[in-house]
Structure 1
Amino acid sequence: MTQNVTSFPNPPITEALLDIRVNLPKEITLDTLATFQGEIKERFPTKKEKYKWEGGVQFQAGGAPKIIPSSSGTIGYLFHAADGKKIVQARLDGYTFNKLKPYTNWEEFHSEAKELWEIYLKIAKPVNVTRVALRYINRIEIPLPFKDFKEYILTVPEIGDNIPSALSGFFTRLIIPNPDIQADAVITETMEKIDDKAKVLPFIFDIDVSRKYVFEPQSDEIWQTLNKLREFKNQIFLNSMTEKAKELFK
């Protein structure tokens, strides 16, 4: 992977997330996490509860599937910036920094995420880190009309010969491992409703790259790994876009 990454004046990123999963000491509670806001209230004045929903189906040999009732509970808090463009999450299972459009650059995003992580470290005192991840959700407005997605996007669903080629919707999920950095990328693609007025097709290209590994919470290896994940993400994005698509981001 190359270190030289093309940057675009008008990137299609609608949301970028940096996520760090942890194990916390038993004595750390929701009340502990609520004190996080005291350190950031001027920048993130709004606090909301973060919920986790669980449920499922249990299959039994020789019997009907058993529905496991859904349950929910508060697992942490979301702190929103006044303009709604940034969110920091302090949870019992980890920390996340969300940056909504406009996205400026990696250096600014990384720097603020790390600063807020240091506050989470001080308050939550994690025992260890178990997973680190980056997720970039891109919304690419493809001008209409066009004949083939591959005029713009190279990583797309294929339709076999002798099948009507009109497409009103799709949902594709690809999992791509990278053994060199012991990471995985989950690429999710879909399309939103065509905007007839703007004459564009909104194409969602969602890249979630992660590595499961046990890190020391204070270790620089966490941030070195996140840099490698960013390179992996960029490799996927840049090699999935045609030159025609890249022109849309300039």
Structure 2
Amino acid sequence: MHAPKHYSQAPITEAAISLRLELPDDVTLATLTDVHLAIKAAYPMSQDILAFQGQMLAGASVGATASQTQIGYNFLSSDQKHSFQARLDGFTFSRLAPYERWETFRDEAQRLWNIYRSVANPKSISRLALRYINRLDFPLPLDDLKDYLRTVPEVSADLPQGLSGYFMQLQIPQVDLTAMLLLNQAIIPPQNPNVVSVLLDIDLFRDSDFPSEEKALWEILEQLHIRTDQVFEACITDRTRELIN
């Protein structure tokens, strides 16, 4: 397996760190507005986060109802490259392209988490996730996806081999990390007619056995980061590395 490295043309379109939490009963939306007061200079824009619920009705007549509830706020940086969600059920920090380095991304997430934690005082953590959404553009003509990707759908030799689209999801337990890897891959609309664009979505999460110590929690996140790098390298070939180097 290739060692993880820093690519000058990293294909990451979005990176996200998420925690699903249980907050004390007395924490409300008004409480979460205090988070924005502490970060407003760097994250001046605020958006409501809404959760939608639908219900089917059956009986003499069939119908449906829908409702929405606000569950938090999304705070955006001035350039809209950084997004910080402070919700009643969790915390999410994301970075849009261009992605810089893990250390920069992690440190800003930790800074915001400390502010969120001091305001919301979470009772427990039920999920910790690290996600990298990559867009890979392969030049045409493209004879075989295996020239660029090591994990691809296998088409029977008795069928035509040309693909105009596909979606593939793999769920791969990471037993040593007590985690689960969701690996999504699909052909997506290209940015220009001279390439084939492939989505490579690496979603690694853990939903049990969380330590009470803050330092240990971030050590788990470091382990997840190392694994996501390893997964990315395991999915691509040297030809892809040449494209993004």
CA distance in 2, matches of 1:72, 1:165: 45
Please state if 1:248 is matched with 2:243: yes
1:207 aligns with 202
State the distance in 1 between where 2:64 and 2:207 align: 28
Higher helix share: 2
Instruction: Provide closer, same or farther for how the CA distance between residues 22 and 216 of structure 1 changes in structure 2, counting only shifts above 3 A.
Output: farther
Deviations 1:108-137 (A, max 9, x none): 100000000000011101111121110000
Q: Is the 8 A contact 1:154 1:241 kept in 2?
A: yes
State the match for 2:88 in structure 1. 92
- Residue 129 of structure 1 corresponds to 125
Instruction: State the match for 1:54 in structure 2.
Output: 53
Instruction: Determine what percentage of the aligned residue pairs are the same residue.
Output: 37
**Does 2:230 correspond to 1:231?**
no
Letter in 1 for 2:22: N
Which residues of 2 match residues 19-38 of structure 1 at below 5 A?
A: 19-38=18-37
- CA deviation digits over 1:189-226, x for unaligned, max 9? 111124554x1111100000000125356521211111
Counting only pairs closer than 5 Å after superposition, residues 22-171 of structure 1 correspond to structure 2 as: 22-55=21-54, 69-171=65-167
In structure 2, runs of 5+ residues without a counterpart are none
CA, structure 1 residues 135+196, in 2 after alignment: closer, same or farther (shift >3 Å)? closer
* Counterpart code for 1:17: A
Contact persistence 1:46–1:79 (CA under 8 A):
yes
| TM-score normalised by structure 1 residue count | 0.90
Unpaired runs of 5+ residues, structure 1, are 59-65
Q: Pick closer, same or farther for the CA change 1:87–1:196 going to 2, 3 Å.
A: closer
Look up the equivalent residue of 2:215 and give its one-letter code: D
- Give distance in 2, aligned partners of 1:70 and 1:174: 32
Given that 1:129 and 1:214 are in contact with CA atoms closer than 8 Å, whether structure 2 keeps it comes out as: no
Residue 190 (structure 1) aligned with residue 186 (structure 2): yes
Deviation digits for residues 209-248 of structure 1 (CA, Å, limit 9, x no counterpart)? 0001253565212111111111121111101100000111
Measure the CA separation in 1 of the matches of 2:160 and 2:64: 41
Q: TM-score, normalization: structure 2? A: 0.92
After TM superposition, give the deviation of residue 55 of structure 1 in Å: 4.0
Coordinate RMSD, CA, aligned: 2.3
Query: Structure 1 residues 57, 237: closer, same or farther in 2, change over 3 A?
Result: farther
* Farther-moved stretch of structure 1 (210-219 vs 227-236): 210-219
- Answer yes or no: is 1:177 the counterpart of 2:173: yes
Taking a change above 3 Å as real, the CA distance of residues 72 and 152 of structure 1, as seen in their structure-2 partners, is same
Q: State the match for 1:62 in structure 2.
A: none
